[in-house]
Structure 1
Amino acid sequence: MRLYCQPKIDMKTGRISGAEALVRWAHPRLGVITPVHFIKLAEQSGIITRVTNWMLNATMGYLRGWQESGHTGKLALNLSAHDIRSPAMAQRIEDQLDAWGVRPELIQFELTESALIEDPDAALAALSRIKACGADVFIDDYGTGYSSLSYLQRFPIDGIKIDQSFISPMLDDPDSAVIVRSTIELGHALGSQVVAEGVENVRVWQQLTEHGCDQAQGYLISMPMPIEELARWQSRGERVVEPGIAAADAHSRCFDPPHLA
């Protein structure tokens, strides 16, 4: 396993606000494999907990260095429905925070709406413990699952991430634009942060800015990168990357949108 990440940008300041931790499988024959090709298999075979435990440990190790360097951004870690149903997961998170000496406000946990609906009582218990230790909780891929205002009201949620299936077409699809704008307004009305996923061009960025979106994540900002490269990427002025280019060229073909310049 290899720890990757994708930066998130504060849309008001144009500065990095954190990153999402991502996993890659470094296969000896097939090369680097993305989660879309193995996470569902890991869930079906029951080894997803081992993957999550590896991610949690690796993330904590990185955050310890981040904390010692004085960085104040947050690193987000995905939890599966299986993780949320496990009574041991919340305790494992608390133990890891204690063992690594990491401040809980540096870590976020993201989970999908489907993870909440499969076992709402177990999810509520787990999220309440996670929140009690001081970490943030975000709903990932909001709008693609079982979107319900009752979830936002019932569960201790700090923010929502609007799925890229609404972000990408919002310039040409009036319905998507309305959903995005309404979701941002709803999130703010409930006191939640709103993150836009899949931001790939400047026009989308500008429209999200007009709607008051809080954070953005996507190829416009950066392709996913090995987490060791994040500090170097940030030191290069937190520039954004042209969408649609190869990851190998990501740092050599950058440009500064007017908003971020």
Structure 2
Amino acid sequence: MSAARAPEDFVAVAEHTGQLSRLTEVVLREGLRRSRDWALADQPLPIAVNLAARTLTDQHFPDRVQELLTEYGVPAQRLTLEITEAGVLDGTDRPIPTLRRLRDLGVRLSVDDFGTGDSSLAHLRRLPVHEVKVDRSFVQGMATDPGDLAIVNAVVTLSQQFGLAVVAEGVESELTLELLQDIGCEIGQGFLFSRPLPYERLAAWFGAQVEPETVASGELPRLRVVP
């Protein structure tokens, strides 16, 4: 039996064989179809799709995204496209025209795994993105390493000053959750909330969630969960 492959392995093979555009379209189609079905069931949910860096050099990609959004009748703001830090902060301006066109469509843009590359938060100011996702290596270490805590705090503070939403990846403990609330991070993602779920079990997971209680004056708000 062969070992399971990580997503980046599939992307590498797709790039090597010239199938990257086809793979990206298959994932987009499936995600938009699910988003349409959720909306028809009175549960409109956003979706997020990861993009390879090479996709941002394809001048036809924004047009294809628009066509698919129209085909499936999904509002652009329900689609988030996630690009790794290295993909958008590569020292050149090559990704920026594609990012601007995607943003003009109304699609949300997110910088994934932030902090793992050599870029700085200052570089984000020139990118037309909406969101920064702090890499799980810093989030998971912030409960025991003051340095990781300082890094996450700096990313949250400066990103918010730039008008960017911040997502903490890899939230796996209540202590980490409390620390994130203390520093003002409003969105969390990780095993503390749920393991990855197949589509068939997602509806049941949502149905089992308790509506958040009204926050009393002076109390810390709960993080918003990203499945």
Report the TM-score, using the length of structure 2 for normalisation.
0.86
Task: Answer whether contact 1:85 1:119 (CA < 8 A) is retained.
Answer: no
* 2:33 equivalent in structure 1: 61
Structure 1 residues 86, 118: closer, same or farther in 2, change over 3 A?
farther
1:40 pairs with 1, 5, 12, which one? 12
* Cα shift at 1:33: 4.3
Q: CA deviation at 1:235?
A: 0.4
In the TM superposition, what is the alpha-carbon distance from 1:37 to its structure 2 partner?
A: 4.0
Q: What is the Cα deviation at residue 229 of structure 1?
A: 1.9
SS at match of 1:154: coil
Q: Does 1:207 align with 2:179?
A: yes
Partner of residue 110, structure 1: 82
Q: CA deviation at 1:236?
A: 1.2
Which ranges in structure 2 are unaligned for 5 or more consecutive residues? 212-221
Corresponding letter in the other structure for 2:121: L
CA–CA separation in structure 1 for the residues paired with 2:182 and 2:105 = 35
Counterpart in the other structure of 1:148: 120
Q: Quick one: which of 194, 197, 218 aligns to 1:225?
A: 197
Which of the two has greater strand per residue?
1
Give the secondary-structure state (helix, strand or coil) at the position aligned to 1:78.
strand
Name the amino acid aligned to 1:139: V
Please name the residue that 1:251 is paired with: none
- The answer as to whether partners of 2:35 and 2:45 remain within 8 angstroms in 1 is no
Q: Which has the higher contact order (CA 8 A, sep 6+)?
A: 1
**SS of match in other structure, 1:121:** coil
Relative to structure 1, is the Cα distance of residues 123 and 192 closer, same or farther in structure 2, using a 3 angstrom cutoff?
same
1:188-213 CA distance string (max 9 Å, x none)? 11111100001111111111111111
Partner of 2:103: 131
Whether the 8 Å contact between 2:172 and 2:190 is mirrored in structure 1 is yes
User: Are 1:192 and 2:183 an aligned pair?
Assistant: no
Displacement of 1:167 in angstroms is 0.6
CA distance in 2 between counterparts of 1:113 and 1:34 reads 18
User: Number of matched residues?
Assistant: 213
Q: Write the distance in 2 (CA, Å) between the matches of 1:36 and 1:96.
A: 24
Displacement after TM superposition at 1:131 (Å):
0.7
Residue 31 of structure 1, CA deviation: 8.1
**Residue 141 of structure 1 contacts residue 163 of structure 1 at CA under 8 Å; is this kept in 2?**
yes
Aligned equivalents of 1:179, 1:227: Cα separation in 2:
34
